[in-house]
Structure 1
Amino acid sequence: MPLKIPTEYVDARTTGIHWPGEPVSFTEFAAARHSLHDGPFTPPFMVLRRAAVRANIAALADFCARRGVLLAPHGKTTMAPALFRQQLEAGAWGMTAATPSQVRAYRSFGVERILLANELVDRRLAAWIASKPCTFVCLVDSRAGVDLLAGTGIQVLIDVGYPGGRTGVRSVEEAASLASYAAGRVRVAGISGYEGGIADAEEVICYLKTLREAAQAVAPYAEDEFIISAGGSIWFDLVADHLAGEAQLIIRSGAYVSHDHGYYQRLTPFQRLTAHGPIHAALELWAPVLSVPEPGVAYALMGKREAPYDIDLPVSLDHPGLKVRAVNDHHAQLDVPSGITLTPGDLLRFGVSHPCTAFDKWRTLLVADEDDAVVDLIRTYF
């Protein structure tokens, strides 16, 4: 069943677009192919490059098809059903969610397979999900978590972590014990893990070995086709190398859809996967120069409300020597080297780092083609 994309409108409240007249639909606005340079736009605004998104979605779809693994992209990266649709049309098995609210949103869009990569501890929502005709699976790592879901018929994956890590039981023995307890109370479907918090490849491989052992220990308690789920956006190649073939493997990468100019540019597996990809940074933040108060310093209309800053600060795409020194709520302090002249009103482009904290700052993103024409608008639902 095709996804249900809500009909949205451009009006005076739409960030980044100057539209004081009567509202027009996203479809009608996009059909006009307004230029980013002289169209009805008021910076700052976030641009999503259409060609890069399409290439990125195709690259991971190709990787999964060649490796024989399933993909449930983590939708919390974008919370954009228009992008979900592209990912599903490219062959994704379903979508991954992080919170119950996201699950509700996914169901409203018509997503039919949802992996909640978290525990579901809301009994009321569990009953609501169980009443809906969709494929749903979530994680458990405790008997209390199992008891909250008992009798709902919900499928669960035993969450297997590691000492000092995030959630999950801490040993193979605990995984087997919990699976034994869960059997008959819920539907044990497999195991899940998350390796994204591990910085070293050898440590990741060691953890994946633990997941294999846990899968073997939990398998006797499974009622359905056995599932292993792991694989964020940094080590999914190792996950496929070491877990594919053990059971039905579902990876959960999300950041690949837009990639970035920082964190994932440094760490993406596509740096190692020379037979696949490459993928491309698709997000650009366009912001005007506000002030040049002293030599070597300028301020742009871009700050914590517009750009992610939790890992890296934005980087200039127009002037390699220009550096973002600091950000306030709506100001970015720029170090301006000699040889670069900036004037208030100049429009600058910046690349961002960490898409998961970029999309959530924008309700509307402008989708642009290679000629800088806006060919679509993307609405997010955080």
Structure 2
Amino acid sequence: MTIDWRSKGFWVPDGEVDPGRLAAERPSIFAGGFTWPLLVLRRDAVEANIATMAAYARRHGFDLAPHAKTTMAPGLLAAQMRAGAWGLTVATPNQALVLRRLGIERVLIANQVLDPVALRWLAAESAAGWDVFFQVDSLAGVAAAAATGGPLRVLVELGHDGGRTGVRGLGELETIARAVAAAPGLELAGVAGYEGQLRDQDGVDAYLDQLAEGVNRLAAAGLLPGRGIVACGGSAWFDRVTARLGGLHDRARLILRSGATVTHDDGFYRERTPFTRVPTEGPLTAAMEMWAQVISAPEPGLAIAGMGKRDAPFDEGLPEPLDVRRADGHTETARGVRVTKLNDHHTYLAVGDVPLTPGDLIRFGLSHPCTAFDKWRDIPLVDEDRRVVDVLHTYF
């Protein structure tokens, strides 16, 4: 991997830059080798978040298979594995292929796979010794997997009304489980679920209780292995997952898939993190930030920053101005400045009582890391002085 003119945020009009050499030189992002907007990750916050989640899982008797689709950055995935992750989760066969090529030994695909091309590849890699799992929620899914001849290991998925994938009841869960058990080449490895779309604790608890009941029902029917997998848990309700599924320890390997915790954020997950409910178990710290330049102040009360939907996530809340860095390097709070909307490459700022001048830099907090990383090919990892200590590459 090299950095060149294709790397957004890095200013390399000619030639190329070796990331290792750049990290050894530890340049400031303000020293001229970068341009705006620029997404960076704070190393100390990332390391603390990874350690916090690893410790949390250990305390509660869960293994971690954090969702790699959040970042698809090998440097961060390797750090999570070094911290003791059992494996990694992905959303698609294409992401599973990336992780296979990166040398990740255990991968869980948190979706049903129906593409015969991908299924044949998964079966071949499984036969070669790769520890890979995926989910099924239909007889069609079972038939598609069985058509490969295997060997394939699958998890039956329980969903909930109004959710995305997963069967909608325990009767159907057992029907699919029996179909897997009867299919040549398939192994029923456990049960999966996802509670992240539920909006209140009562609804989450009711769903998780049903998931536990489903595991017990399949175990009583002799359909699950002695200690099968139970995989669940996004980044908003993992405290409820550990509380409601913890009773399954004796009969299941319990897996948390929380992925956004690696960077946390200044929006969606800041408001929804379980550590607001159980603060003694946390905290997580927002690790990602965007630096963008004020490029216009065309009328009183309005300024425009050179950042837009091509650069920053906006699906779960708009960026939040945190600080203003003036031309002389002086930094002050951006309290009172507010983002009102984004275009492709422009951010509209209601300036409040903070005067903004073209050329000022604004540090933005972002909401929802899952739609931040996919917009950037190379991302500087920085220390607290905003000096580059590494460069992360993403695979989207």
- TM-score if structure 1 supplies the norm length? 0.96
Q: CA offset at residue 22 of structure 1?
A: 2.5
Query: What are structure 1's unaligned runs of at least 5 residues?
Result: 1-7
**SS of alignment partner, residue 214 of structure 2:** helix
Q: CA offset at residue 302 of structure 1?
A: 0.5
Q: CA offset at residue 154 of structure 1?
A: 0.8
* Alignment pair present for 1:84 and 2:71: no
Q: CA offset at residue 184 of structure 1?
A: 3.1
* Alignment pair present for 1:226 and 2:228: yes
**SS of alignment partner, residue 390 of structure 2:** strand
**SS of alignment partner, residue 9 of structure 1:** coil
- Contact 1:10/1:29 (<8 A) preserved: no
2:36 counterpart residue number: 43
The alignment yields a C-alpha RMSD, in angstroms, of 1.1
1:306 counterpart residue number: 311
1:107 counterpart residue number: 100
Structure-1 separation of matches of 2:384 and 2:59 = 30
Matches within 5 A, 1:228-243: 228-243=230-245
Query: What are structure 2's unaligned runs of at least 5 residues?
Result: 324-333
**SS of alignment partner, residue 280 of structure 2:** coil
2:136 counterpart residue number: 140
* Alignment pair present for 1:270 and 2:275: yes
- Contact 2:88/2:106 (<8 A) preserved: yes
Structure-1 separation of matches of 2:358 and 2:385 = 25
Matches within 5 A, 1:243-282: 243-246=245-248, 247-282=252-287
Structure-2 separation of matches of 1:379 and 1:107 = 16
Question: Runs in 1 of length 4+ with deviation above 6 angstroms?
Answer: none
1:5 counterpart residue number: none
State the one-letter code of the partner of 2:268.
Answer: Y
**SS of alignment partner, residue 221 of structure 1:** coil
Q: CA offset at residue 122 of structure 1?
A: 1.4
Q: CA offset at residue 223 of structure 1?
A: 4.1
1:125 counterpart residue number: 118
Structure-2 separation of matches of 1:373 and 1:327 = 28
Matches within 5 A, 1:293-372: 293-318=298-323, 319-338=334-353, 340-372=354-386
2:204 counterpart residue number: 204
Structure-2 separation of matches of 1:105 and 1:169 = 28
State the one-letter code of the partner of 2:144.
Answer: L
- Contact 1:234/1:264 (<8 A) preserved: yes
State the one-letter code of the partner of 1:379.
Answer: H
- Contact 2:288/2:366 (<8 A) preserved: yes
Q: CA offset at residue 285 of structure 1?
A: 0.4
Matches within 5 A, 1:141-160: 141-150=137-146, 151-160=149-158
1:194 counterpart residue number: 194
* Higher mean C-alpha displacement, 236-245 vs 113-122: 236-245
- Contact 2:309/2:343 (<8 A) preserved: yes
- Contact 2:190/2:225 (<8 A) preserved: no
Structure-1 separation of matches of 2:134 and 2:64 = 16
Structure-2 separation of matches of 1:224 and 1:39 = 59
**SS of alignment partner, residue 264 of structure 2:** coil
* Alignment pair present for 1:30 and 2:23: yes
- Contact 2:96/2:107 (<8 A) preserved: yes
2:395 counterpart residue number: 381
Q: CA offset at residue 194 of structure 1?
A: 0.6
State the one-letter code of the partner of 1:356.
Answer: C
- Contact 1:189/1:224 (<8 A) preserved: no
